[in-house]
Structure 1
Amino acid sequence: MAAMQGRRQLLPAAAALLACLLLLPSAARGRNITAILDGYKEYKLYNKYLSETKVCDEINSRQSTSMTILVLSKDAMTTLAKDAGGSLAAIKNALRLHSVLDYYDRRKVKKYGDESAATLYQATGDAVSTTGNVKVVDQDDKNYGFSAATPGARICTVTKEVETHPFKFAILEVTAPIEFDGLFDTPSTANLTRLLERAGCKVFAALVASSGVLKTYEGAMDTGLTLFAPNDDAFQARDAPDVKNMSTADLVKLLEYHALPAYNPKTSLKAVKPGAPLRTLATTKAGKDHITVVAKGDDVSLDTGKSKSRVADTVVDSVPFCLLTVDSLLVPPELYVGAPEAAPAPSPAEAPQSSATQAADAPSLAADHADHADHKTNKKTSSAVASRPIGAFAAAAAVCSVALASLL
């Protein structure tokens, strides 16, 4: 009877907990633009370019920002790609311009009229003056549209409100791509050595040129390359290897370890799953010599397993090549010289049985703690609020708290 009564007492709390679980996913699943557009076949080509240029990662990283994404039908996107000369770097500029950093729908435009709005293109620093803005235009009758901020730019009318989540997120289809003179201009990557030198990485540039690794980098730039260039001070660090006395093979390994055979700008690195290994040019078939990413807010660091190096600045972001600077050398574990040698473990005869048992238990406890921490981190990451208002999420959290308290 006591057990039956206990179960009955738990029923209200269990029901509240179930309601909480049903409410939280929609409020906490996060905004994923490519996943949303997967449900619309007419935007398949647009979605493809969002992924290839990694603009999707920039959009998804702004979970707390109100945004309006101006999408293009297959024909309009084909026109944009042709105008950009097929260059992914140029197409990326345009897709950033079509990512507006505010919420718009017909009701808002008709209420407030014409205005100017910032875009991702302006936010990245690639825009000159106000060219990175778009104009929101209230047209006749029920129509409204968007245009470039330059004088005389054509107005691209909104033909469909694909999705609207008031004051948080909207997807609108426009008749044609928004363009202006200079939008498709991209930085030259023809002289990698000069780019490195201008970024304050002269020592690294000299080593790359003298070792022959420059040809390896250049051969990968057209298909996908992310290069992490350490500044000159990094080679003077106490735990940095002596590159002057390294064998040619070790030097090549060190330099290849500073590059990923894929396009991963800083925003995309932030989206990498914690602990997931990233393949470098030095990675072996057995999986040795990879790196992992540690991201916290806007800070991104690269972890070799022995040390970490912060990603400092973006020098060039020109799909499919990205040049980033880092604060310290990325050293493959077998070449690392800064780690202190571990003290030899005591023999069974020297250590008491209880100490040996504790030593044996310690790794599993540490692993359990790490797994628990990873679980909490993933849980926090998955709870970024997307289109639901913050008040709804707070209410859901309150219900969860009450339900869990009742169960406990």
Structure 2
Amino acid sequence: MMMKQLLLSFSALLVFLLHCTTTIAQAPAKSPKPKLKGPANVTAILEKAHRFNSLIRLMENTQMGDRINTELATASGGLTLFAPADNAFASLKAGTLNSLTDLQKSQLVQFHVLTAYNSLPQFQTVSNPVPTQAGDTSKGHFPLSITMGGNQVNISTGLTNATITSSIYTDGQLAVYEVDKVLLPLEIFNPLPPAPAAAPKKAAAPPPPVLAPSPAAPVANITSVDASSAMGLMIRHAAVSFGVAAIAAFFL
């Protein structure tokens, strides 16, 4: 009898354990919490594409990569990057980048960054000149003109005519487009000649010198001259009269 009760108790325990195991196995697994998406890292995006090593080095040397990432984390309007591939940098004249100052290298990178996010269709309605991080868009500084014909986006700097060849990355905050040429700004590679200096004003001509009056010529003593002339006439008249009288007496 006692053995029978033990078997019943053991059976009940087995049934309970089997029920608990089945219940646990059927409970749905908890889904992992989604990772919060942070701002894009522009350098990491370019590295993943495996053909932007020259641009990455230029960004690292000028610390512009860190600046772009910081602005992506804080700016509300987003950014657009035109990324020349390695073959675009290779087509530049030898020594082009080495001839630039540190400031000019930074400006060159900034010239490839638009201050707002632009999807490809938005390039149809952009207002030229398009502002970049390089700053001033006035003539002779950093003008950038973007036009769209069909599905092709054309970019002109006044020195370079480039085309967007592919879309590398876009998330509504950052857009990265590959371009087939390095965008060369006029300000760096073809600066306007300085305005000619104003011609110096001619000095006023000095006034003519005041000439001292020349000394008056001595005035002849008119009275003395007239008296001498009269005396000579009287002598000649007397001589003539005397001669006439002598001749007359001779013939008498």
Provide the residue aligned with 1:30 in structure 2. Answer: 39
Provide the residue aligned with 1:219 in structure 2. Answer: none
Provide the residue aligned with 1:143 in structure 2. Answer: 152
Following TM superposition, by how much is the alpha carbon of 1:113 offset from its aligned partner in structure 2, in angstroms? Answer: 5.4
Provide the residue aligned with 2:88 in structure 1. Answer: 76
TM-score by length of 2: 0.54
Query: Aligned partners of 1:106 and 1:47: how far apart in 2?
Result: 23
Amino acid at match of 2:86: K
Provide the residue aligned with 2:115 in structure 1. Answer: 101
Trace 1:268-279 onto structure 2 (pairs within 5 A): none
Q: Deviations for 1:168-220, whole angstroms, at most 9, x for unmatched residues? A: 211111111222333259xxxxxxxxxxxxxxxxxxxxxxxxxxxxxxxxxxx
Trace 1:118-267 onto structure 2 (pairs within 5 A): 118-122=131-135, 127=136, 129=138, 131-139=141-149, 141-148=150-157, 152-166=158-172, 168-183=173-188
Following TM superposition, by how much is the alpha carbon of 1:83 offset from its aligned partner in structure 2, in angstroms? Answer: 2.8
Contact 1:105-1:170 at 8 Å conserved across structures: yes
Q: Deviations for 1:275-296, whole angstroms, at most 9, x for unmatched residues? A: xxxxxxxxxxxxxxxxxxxxxx
Provide the residue aligned with 1:55 in structure 2. Answer: 64
Contact 1:97-1:133 at 8 Å conserved across structures: no
Query: Aligned partners of 2:101 and 2:94: how far apart in 1?
Result: 8
Contact 1:68-1:169 at 8 Å conserved across structures: yes
Query: Aligned partners of 2:167 and 2:137: how far apart in 1?
Result: 30
Provide the residue aligned with 2:17 in structure 1. Answer: none
Superposed CA RMSD = 3.1
Provide the residue aligned with 1:349 in structure 2. Answer: none
When Rg is computed on C-alpha atoms for both structures, the one with the higher figure is: 2
Query: Aligned partners of 2:137 and 2:128: how far apart in 1?
Result: 19
Query: Aligned partners of 1:174 and 1:164: how far apart in 2?
Result: 15
Identity of aligned residues (%): 17
Q: Where does structure 1 lack aligned partners over 5 or more consecutive residues?
A: 186-408
Contact 1:71-1:172 at 8 Å conserved across structures: yes
Residues 81, 33 of structure 1: alpha-carbon distance in 2 compared, 3 angstrom cutoff: farther
Contact 2:162-2:183 at 8 Å conserved across structures: yes
**Structure 2 residue corresponding to 1:91, chosen from 80, 101, 105:** 105
Following TM superposition, by how much is the alpha carbon of 1:44 offset from its aligned partner in structure 2, in angstroms? Answer: 1.2
Query: Aligned partners of 1:82 and 1:135: how far apart in 2?
Result: 27
TM-score by length of 1: 0.35
Contact 2:80-2:118 at 8 Å conserved across structures: yes
Query: Aligned partners of 1:153 and 1:76: how far apart in 2?
Result: 15
Q: Where does structure 2 lack aligned partners over 5 or more consecutive residues?
A: 1-19, 191-252
Contact 1:98-1:119 at 8 Å conserved across structures: yes
Q: SS of 1:115's equivalent?
A: coil
Query: Aligned partners of 2:99 and 2:113: how far apart in 1?
Result: 20
Contact 1:69-1:98 at 8 Å conserved across structures: yes
Query: Aligned partners of 2:128 and 2:86: how far apart in 1?
Result: 28
Of structures 1 and 2, the one scoring higher in RCO (CA 8 A, sep 6+) is 1
**Structure 2 residue corresponding to 1:40, chosen from 42, 49, 62:** 49
Contact 1:145-1:174 at 8 Å conserved across structures: no
Amino acid at match of 2:69: N
